[in-house]
Structure formats: C-alpha cells, structure tokens
Amino acid sequence: MEIVTSEFFQRALIGGLLIGVTAPLMGLFLVLRRLSMIGDTLSHVSIAGVALGFLIGVYPIAVGLLFAIAASFAIEKLRKAYKSYAELSIAIIMSGGVALASLLFTMGKGFNSNVNSYLFGSIYTLNDTDLYVIGGVTVIVLVAIWLQVKELFLITFDEDAAAVSGLPVKFYNVMISVLTALIISVSIKIVGALLVSALLTIPAACSLIIARSFRQSVITVVIIGELAVIAGLLIAGVWNLAPGGTIVLLLIAVLLMLLVFKRGVRTGS
Amino acid sequence: MQLRIAVRREMMAQSNRITNADASCHQEVISLEDVSFSFQQQTVISNLSFAVKERDFIGLIGTNGAGKTTLLRMIVGLLKPTSGTIRLFGEKVDRFKQWERIGYVPQKNSLNPLFPATVREVVLSGLYGRNKLFKKMNKADHKKCEDALHAMGIDDLKDKRIGQLSGGQQQRVFLARALINNPSLLILDEPTVGIDTETQESFFHMIKHMHQHHNITFLMVSHDLDMIRSYLGQEPAAGNGKLKFHIKHSHETQDCVENDLAHSLKGLREQMESRKEVVLIGDRN
Ligand SMILES: Nc1ncnc2c1ncn2[C@@H]1O[C@H](COP(=O)(O)OP(=O)(O)OP(=O)(O)O)[C@@H](O)[C@H]1O
Ligand SMILES: [Mg+2]
Ligand SMILES: [Zn+2]
Ligand SMILES: [Zn+2]
C-alpha cells in the first residue's frame, strides 16, 4: 500500500481527479450532439503532434494541442461539406492523423518508447509542468461550462432553436471544439491516446441510462468519472496494473452494471 | 420539377395600399422584398415579396416540397436568401437582435428519445437567448415557465423526460417553449401534425384566443384546410400549378384604435380589430 503515499502516485491522483471532472463533462456535450467519435479522432491526431514535439524538441503536449485544434477545425469544415455524413469527415481526419504519426515515428526512431507513454498513458510520470497545464485547462473548462451551461444545453439540445434565440452558434461550436482539444491533449499522458475517448464518452453513456434531467446527467458524469479514476488508480497501484486501462475497464464495468440493473428494474416492474 | 412561389402583382398592389393606410398603428412585423432562394440548381422560391403586419394571421398552405418550411427558415434567419431582403420588425434579419419577440416552432423535432432533459428544462431553454447570456435563471423566469406549461396544459408533465412523451405532447412542449418569452410573433410550421383531433381543436381555440386577445401575430403552415377555412372564413382558391398569394382583407377600411382604454375593452377591441388575412395556396403541376 505504500505506493499510495508516494509522490508520483499523489501527482497521478491529482492529475486524474482533474481530468475525471473535465473529460466526462465535455464528453457529455459531445455525446449529446452525436459527436462521440470526435474524441477518438482528436486524440489520434494529437499523437502526431506529440511525435512532432519530440522530434523538434518542443513540449509534446503543446504541439499535440495545436494538432488537435487544427483537426477540430478541419472536422467542422468537412462536416459542412458532407452534412449528415459527418462521420465520414471524422474517419478521414482520424486516418490522416494516424498516418502522420506513423511517419513521424519512423523519422525519430529514438523516441519510440516516449511516444508509447502517450499512446497508453503514463500517469506516474506526470511532472510539475504537466500538473500546472492540466490545472490550467481544468480551470478554463470549468469556468467556461459554469458560465454558459444554459447556452451549451440549448445548442446541444436544439441548434436551430439556439440560432433563433440569437445565440452565436458558430462561436459555441468553435468553443466546444477547442475545449475538447484542450482536454484531450492533457488527458493523453494520463489515460493514453487510445483510451481518452472512453473517459469522454462512457460516463455520458451511463448518464443516458439513469439521468432523467440534464442537471442529473451533469452530476452523474462527474461522479462516475471521479469514482472510476480514484478506484482505477488505487486498484492499478496495489496490483501493479496499467492505470489507464484499469480506469477504462472500470468505466465499462459500471456501464454494464447499469444496463443490467436497468433491465432488472424493467422486467421486475 | 421546379416549384416556385409567384406573387400576383395586383394583389401585392392592393396590399401595399392598405399598408400605407394602416401605417400609423400597424407595424410591419415581417417583410420580404424580392426574395429568392435556391438549393444548388433548384429554385425553391423566386422573387417573393409580401408583408406581415402586426396582428395579422397568416396561414400558409402548400403541397409537400412547395417551399413553406424553406420560407419560414429564411424568415427566422436559419437560411440566407439567395437574393432579396427580409426584415423583422423593420430590421434586416442578419442584424436583428430582439429574438425574444419571436416564437418559432419548427416542423418536426428529430428528438433523440434518450436525451436527458425534462419538459421543464426544455421550456425554460426558450429564455436562454442572447440577453440572458451569463445570467442565472431567477424566480421570475421559473414563473414564466410555469405559466407557459399551464397555457399548454402540460403542468403535470413538467418533470418527465422529454423523450418519454408522445409526439403530440412533445409538440405542446415546443409550443410552450415558443410562448415563454411572451412573443409578439409566432411562427409555426405544421404545429398540429401528430396531434389528435380533440387536442387539435383546443389548440386552434388557443391560437385564436392568443391572436384575438393577446395580439399575437401568426404565421403558420398547416395542411389542415378545415382549420384555415373555419378560422379565416374563406374558401382557399385552388392553385394553378404555382404557389400564389390569395389575399383577403376582412376589414379594409378600419380605423385604428389608438386609445388604450378602448384597447382594454375586449369586446370593443374585437370589433375594431383590423385583420388582414393571407392564404398561400400551392399546387404542383
Ligand atoms: N437541405 C436541402 N437541400 C436541397 N434541397 C432541399 C433541402 N431542403 C429542402 N429542399 C428542397 O426544397 C424544396 C422545398 O422544401 P420545403 O421543406 O421548404 O417544403 P415544404 O413546403 O415545407 O414541404 P412539406 O409540406 O413536405 O413540409 C423541396 O423541393 C426540397 O426538395
Ligand atoms: Mg415543411
Ligand atoms: Zn378563448
Ligand atoms: Zn389569455
């Protein structure tokens, strides 16, 4: 149990707790807008940015963030071109990101192990800079959502109604994209690029099962996100498992339990 | 097959004459000047001009694909006309700011049944416009919500998840959302589709009531000829292949009652009310 009191574990816990609030919250808006795949796409693209960061010797998370933001704008543009076939644009950008990442990997053979830590996460290697960046992103995201939860609700629920209410829909779309890119780029070192989207989408999937109101769903995603992060880190620490994978498997376990429970309630009544 | 909305010129001229006579007390709520719209190659609306004035009740009738929804979406700024100008309360749509004066209920809401939102949250969201930016909802706002729910007779549904309601109940929720701002203009796109006959009747009664006693201006698409006929007291003329305007002035020479006292006397006001009724009738050939 002494791992729990070690400094690297406590850093991991702080980082995890911060991401455990922001990622599920933002994920809720994405899922409700039927953009669940965006998380996965942006994280794959930001891996290319991380690789480039290592290659040119710049803070990888920052380069990853730039890539994620660029990708989110590209998705918006393509989404307009393909209208209802939005997932097409997501597939295009995602494969582009992976292709670019693999190219950059082969160009800088030396840093492969480092990049690996971004693919699967390496929460125990969070340094001070990482924590400050994660803290900053958390503040930005929470303030933005706190101030504009009504507007975000309306845009998520009914984009046309939002426009007819005079809300600047384009601005909010950009804001949602940028905030998502921010969260993803700081999350990939914690849960890994391959698993980020789970932290975004699974809590929201759980809330769709149990929440009756929007208010409840906001509370639900945060509670489930935090529980999974805390329990996942403890379990991983004690049994020496991969932290990112443990958190995600826990989330899936919670989702399955809710589904079974819900079915039980239905057939029981 | 190309569909257009054409305007009978003599009708427009007539309408303009009335416009000037009434200018003192009946503001133009919606005005279209030479508006055209096309999707890629297909021209949906061409050179359409007309005005909706305060307290008008306009029914829009047309066959599927005639361009009714397109017209309404342009008026509320969701689509940009290919050419021409649209004004709301005298202001160009793209500059218009007082959106709380307009209630809009779109044709059908492709609602995800799992969306986690209660009826109350949806109705309240009608208030989330630009001038409530960053503000928290207060007691008065919640009172408005209760009133709107009450007006639509859905008080007992307020804590239900919106996706659990029937289509007709959902439609009432969206109407309540449109009413919560106490709008002076209601734009409704086939509001009674999927609503049972009984509810439809009370709905039309309510609309009539809002028009006559609350001075709300209506622009409404409906396939329900009976309703338009009974309310506007007029036989819609058959279209001749193109959409055309059929304008009827029920009280062409009305004096405007400017006296507030007279306005408040309901019976008197009903008598004095100057209404201009337009039916848009469309047909395909
Ligand atoms: N997004 C779009 N892209 C291309 N064409 C469109 C689009 N939306 C509508 N149209 C075309 O515009 C025309 C008018 O459509 P609109 O929805 O305004 O008709 P409508 O009068 O409301 O019909 P309905 O009674 O079925 O509601 C149709 O012929 C349709 O094919
Ligand atoms: Mg229509
Ligand atoms: Zn009445
Ligand atoms: Zn009344």
- Tally the domains of chain A: 1
Model pLDDT for residues A12-44, shown as the tens digit of each residue:
899 999 999 999 999 999 999 888 888 888 988
CATH of the domain at B210: 3.40.50.300
Q: Does residue B235 lie in a domain region?
A: yes
B194 three-class SS: coil
- Tally the domains of chain B: 1
Q: Does residue B75 lie in a domain region?
A: yes
The percent of residues in chain A predicted with pLDDT above 90, rounded, is 48
> Could you tell me the pTM of the whole model?
0.82
**What is the distance in A from the centroid of ligand 2 to the CA of A75?**
29
- A211 vs B116: CB contact, 8 Å cut-off? yes
Q: Does residue B118 lie in a domain region?
A: yes
Query: Which of chain A's residues have a Cβ under 8 Å away from the Cβ of B76?
Result: 164
- A165 vs B115: CB contact, 8 Å cut-off? no
Q: Does residue A191 lie in a domain region?
A: yes
For position B76, what pLDDT does the model report? Answer: 94
Residue A193's domain comprises 2-263
Q: Which ligand is nearest to the CA of B106?
A: 2
pLDDT of residue B166 exceeding 80, the answer is yes
- Least confident stretch, A137-151, B71-85, B219-233: B219-233
- ipTM at complex level: 0.85
Q: Does residue B22 lie in a domain region?
A: no
CATH of the domain at A135: 1.10.3470.10
- Least confident stretch, A8-22, A41-55, A222-236, B241-255: B241-255
- The closest of B192, B190, B210 to B200, measured between CA atoms, is B192
Candidates A214, A220, A221, A258, partner chain B, best to mutate (most B CBs within 10 A): A214
Q: Does residue B225 lie in a domain region?
A: yes
Q: Does residue B23 lie in a domain region?
A: no
Q: Does residue B70 lie in a domain region?
A: yes
Which residues 163-222 in chain B show a CB within 8 A of chain A?
Answer: 177
Which of B42, B43, B187 to probe ligand 1 with, by most ligand atoms within 8 A of CB?
B42
Q: How far apart are CA B69 and CA B60, in angstroms?
A: 10
Q: How far apart are CA B29 and CA B250, in angstroms?
A: 19
**What is the distance in A from the centroid of ligand 4 to the CA of A245?**
60
Ligand 1 — pocket residues by CB below 6 A? B 39, 44, 62, 64-70, 107
Residue nearest to atom 3 of ligand 1 (CA): B39
Indicate which atom in ligand 1 lies nearest the CA of residue B3: 29
pLDDT of residue B136 exceeding 60, the answer is yes
Residue B109's domain comprises 28-275
Q: Does residue A269 lie in a domain region?
A: no
Residue nearest to atom 1 of ligand 1 (CA): B39
Q: Does residue A268 lie in a domain region?
A: no
- Least confident stretch, A83-92, A100-109, A205-214: A83-92
pLDDT band of B45, cuts 50, 70, 90: confident
Model pLDDT for residues A92-107, shown as the tens digit of each residue:
888 998 899 888 878 7
Q: Does residue B6 lie in a domain region?
A: no
- Of the candidates A160, A165, A217, which has its C-beta nearest B128's C-beta? A165
Q: pLDDT: is B59 or B143 the higher one? A: B143
Query: Which of chain A's residues have a Cβ under 8 Å away from the Cβ of B112?
Result: 32, 34
By CA distance, what is B174's nearest residue in A? A161
